[in-house]
Structure 1
Amino acid sequence: MTNRLVWYGLGLLILAQICYPLTGGGARAAVTVTTVVLGFLLSVGHAALTRGVRTAGALVLVTTGGGLLVEGLGVATGWPFGDYTYSGALGPKIAGVPWVIPLAWTWMAWPAWLAAVRLVHRRAARIVVAGVGLAAWDVFLDPQMVAEGYWTWSDPSPSLPGVSSVPLGNYAGWLVVALLMMALLSTRRGTSKGPDAPMYALYLWTYFSSILAHAAFLGLPASAAWGALAMGLVALPLAASLVHVKTMPWVRA
């Protein structure tokens, strides 16, 4: 039953994401908020059902609470992501940050962590892999959200070739924060009481659908390519482990 509920939740999330390129303006902003809320509930729900309420609470405290803290710091000081501001398109703000933004950190932090748990054994290695797995998602996320006008940087340079709207320092900031979050999450020792396959599917769906959406529907071919490279560092070994490909010796099948 637990497995079925999580799969249903993933299906609902995918349906919401499919609506994104089919909408525009206020409707697209509403789809964005809905998608983030669904992703948050899916990850927290899976954590609670498979690892217990304490682990789910720790996930929310570290990633949602930590996400709000670091985003508020970023808006107020320009550190660690650069000097940026949010528009009002995503709804009410807390300390200058739309309320939905911290939920997005939680949404992808949990599947990134579980991917690392599957791929590597040692705690330090898991922290690094999970941190990269979370931070790499932003190579898709930020160009897409800036293109919609949800937030902007005052000086987005230097930047990745073809992605002039997002400064390189932002990605470095994401990596630092993601590593800190994963280090905190790694202190939880919950034993799995259910399958993690839905979270693997969530991570891989995010990877492959983001490449397709950026390249074919959103007019962002450069971020499609850079995101494919960055998030592929975790997504491709994860996919290989799921199909038992043995050509990558660092992959834990």
Structure 2
Amino acid sequence: MSGLVVARAGSRPAAVPWVPAVLLVLTAIAYPLTEGGAVRDAVSWTIVLLGSTVSVVHAVVSRGARTGAGVLLATAATAVVFESVGLATGFPYGEYTYSDDLGPTLLGVPFLVPLAWLMMAWPSWLLAHRLTRGGRRAVRVGVAAAVFAAWDVVLDPQMVQAGYWTWAHPQPSLPGIDTVPLTNLAGWLLAGLVLMTLLDLLVARTALAPPRTGDGAPLLVLGWMTLGGAVAHAGWLGLPGSAAWGVLLAVPVLVALAVRNRRP
């Protein structure tokens, strides 16, 4: 009986990241069902806050407090550096401006932006780790950076539509997406390579081994924000191009995961 009590107590931390993950899914469902303005802004803020919470809490629970703190600090610092340089120079994303709807800023970067990076970065690294388990660091970092950039392919048109930022020169762009330039994708790939290298080194030096929990909660966030976002774009938001790209980019990953999980 005492062993059963200990097992149940030990399983409680593993459930903690699932709470904000499930709340994020429910909130994301509400986004396309709301009208524009203050209500939709509040929904957007809530999604990002919940997503960043999932990342930090999961990193702490699964890999330890040092890893969780490192994920938070490394991601936030990298985001502020890249975004502030991007705003000042146009490199590496292209020339863009933020609206006042995103609230307070640091070096011109709205506080919401590093939190959005945090929501995206940790799940991207986890998925790459799962896809490339046993592989070289360079491969894992490259896959993680690609996932990181692909996620933005789906999300960026939605944020432009909401008026959160505007591109000075949105062309040339991906087919079907005429509001976001290709330079943005190149910038996300570069930023992703830098950030994922930092996260990979961080995990190697600080993480508990083996992880104390599975990676289901952050991977749910990644999957829902990509595929669920594609459904919302196609059905409610009038963004068929980014919806198609979301499906196109997600299918190879799902196939790779299925193949990977079938291997002995």
Q: Same fold by TM-score, threshold 0.5 exceeded? A: yes
Distance 1:101 1:232 in 2: 27
**For 1:221-250, what per-residue CA distance to the aligned partner results, in whole angstroms no more than 9, with x for missing partners?**
011112222344434423x258x456xxxx
How many residues matched?
A: 245
Retained in 1: the 8 A contact 2:131–2:256? yes
1:225 to 209, 223, 244: 244
Retained in 2: the 8 A contact 1:17–1:35? yes
Retained in 1: the 8 A contact 2:54–2:217? no
Aligned-pair CA distance for 1:204 = 1.8
Retained in 1: the 8 A contact 2:156–2:180? yes
CA change 1:233–1:65 in 2 (3 A) is farther
Distance 2:184 2:249 in 1: 14
**Partner residue, 1:153:** 167
Q: Secondary structure at the match of 2:101?
A: coil
Distance 1:59 1:231 in 2: 25
Gaps of at least 5 residues in structure 1 are 247-252
**For 1:140-188, what per-residue CA distance to the aligned partner results, in whole angstroms no more than 9, with x for missing partners?**
1111100111100111111112211110011010011001111111112
Distance 1:101 1:84 in 2: 14
Q: Secondary structure at the match of 2:212?
A: coil
Q: Secondary structure at the match of 2:61?
A: helix
**Partner residue, 1:132:** 146
- Structure number having the greater helix percentage: 2
CA change 1:74–1:202 in 2 (3 A) is same
**Partner residue, 1:25:** 37
Residue identity opposite 2:233 in structure 1: H
1:4 to 6, 10, 15: 15
Greater Rg, structure 1 or structure 2? 2
Distance 2:252 2:106 in 1: 34
Q: Is it true that 1:180 corresponds to 2:199 in the alignment?
A: no
Distance 1:234 1:155 in 2: 31
Retained in 2: the 8 A contact 1:59–1:110? yes
CA change 1:207–1:237 in 2 (3 A) is farther
Give the RMSD, CA atoms, in angstroms.
Answer: 1.6
Gaps of at least 5 residues in structure 2 are 1-11
**Partner residue, 1:201:** 220
Question: TM-score by structure 2 length?
Answer: 0.88
Distance 1:86 1:235 in 2: 34
Residue identity opposite 1:98 in structure 2: P
